A and B are shown apart, each in its own frame.
Chain A
Amino acid sequence: MTDDLNQNPNKNQEIPPVPDITNIPDIPELNDDLTLTSNENINIEDPNSIEPDKTVISDIKAENQQHTSYQSKGFGPEHHEFNRQKEIEEEKLYAKNTNNSYSSNKSQTPPNIPPQNNNYLYQQNLPNSSAILTFGILSILTICCCGSFVPTIFAVIALAMAGKPLQLYKQNPGQYTYSSYNNIKTGKICAIIGLILSILVLIIFILNMIFNGEFQYQFNEIINETWDQSGY
């Protein structure tokens, strides 16, 4: 009963009357065997098609005997009614508490929950969501080749691609999935970091070119060699 309460507390305002336990052979609390419940379901659906097994019947008989024994020992209907009253009181208290908490929390702004619109049955992924992520991350992976020139290309491509889908998401956020939006956001951040890093590396290169005398010497030599080889 408590599980049902958690889902919808308003339904339990009208509590049904306590059933007569003596007429019903199976009490849900006493059902420990899973086989009984499963067979019951089948019988309710198609009572005539499936014949009940003899073993199941014997089990039911045994359970009924157990039930009678419980009655004699003091676990009978009186005891059950007492428990039932306790449960009802607990349910009422729980419903009150939940209502109060809900009303108090209404004024506060909710935390960062992804927006959920039920108008759209099938949410799409944003276009190029995974491509932007991969390009943003490749902007640092390709730093091993050619220093800071290839990463800048990847970062700029990722930044250029990330503009349009973000606008699309802001126009109607319910139509697209939140995970793809997150992907694009992280891709954009990665691309920005990669771009900043590559620019810093370029600045270091330029500073080194200016303050290092050996570089000028080497560069002139290489250029002269290439000119000589080309034959102009």
Chain B
Amino acid sequence: MLPCPIHKLTGFDCPGCGMQRAAMELLNGNICKSILYYPALLPLILMFVFLSIYLIFKIKNGAKILKYLFIFNAIIIFVNYIIKFIKI
């Protein structure tokens, strides 16, 4: 596992901490555990896949869908970070 440089430097988590653990759990097949570790991983993957599809095949209203997906992801990441921060 790659160590987080910010966690090493400062001692507290960054907004992306837990993503690697979640990815490992997802590769093993435990979707529930991966969501518990980092809930924004699956929507992020979905967004990236949709972006690549949209750039190759021109989908109607694809830009709008991408925008709403982006806002959804941003909200999830920020809320998750604040909750993690309060817990510690």
Contact = CB atoms under 8 A, between A and B. Distances in A.
Interface string B56-84: 00100001101100110110011001000
Contact of A204 (B11, B44, B55, B85): B85
A145 to B, nearest CB: 6
Contacts of B58: 179
A134 B12 CA distance: 30
A217 B58 CA distance: 54
B15 A189 contact: no
A146 B77 CA distance: 15
Nearest to B65: A186
B10 A219 contact: yes
Contacts of A183: 63
Contacts of A212: 11-12
Contacts, number: 83
A182 B63 contact: yes
A197 B48 CA distance: 19
A227 B58 CA distance: 55
Given A197-B77, A200-B78, A214-B11, A189 B67 contact: yes
B19 interface: yes
A186 B85 contact: no
B12 A133 contact: no
Contact of B70 (A137, A144, A147, A201): A137
Nearest to B14: A147
Contact of A137 (B15, B51, B81): B51
B19 A144 contact: yes
A93 B4 CA distance: 74
A143 B71 CA distance: 14
A218 to B, nearest CB: 5
Contacts of A137: 47-48, 51, 66, 70
Nearest to B60: A179
Contacts of A208: 10, 12
A188 B12 CA distance: 31
A162 interface: no
A133 B81 contact: no
A186 B67 contact: yes
B44 A141 contact: yes
A193 B73 CA distance: 11
A140 B74 contact: yes
B24 interface: no
17 contacts: A130-B55, A140-B44, A140-B77, A141-B48, A143-B77, A144-B19, A145-B16, A147-B6, A147-B14, A147-B15, A148-B14, A182-B63, A189-B70, A190-B66, A204-B81, A218-B10, A219-B9
Given A137-B48, A144-B20, A197-B74, 5 more contacts: A130-B55, A137-B70, A146-B5, A146-B14, A147-B15
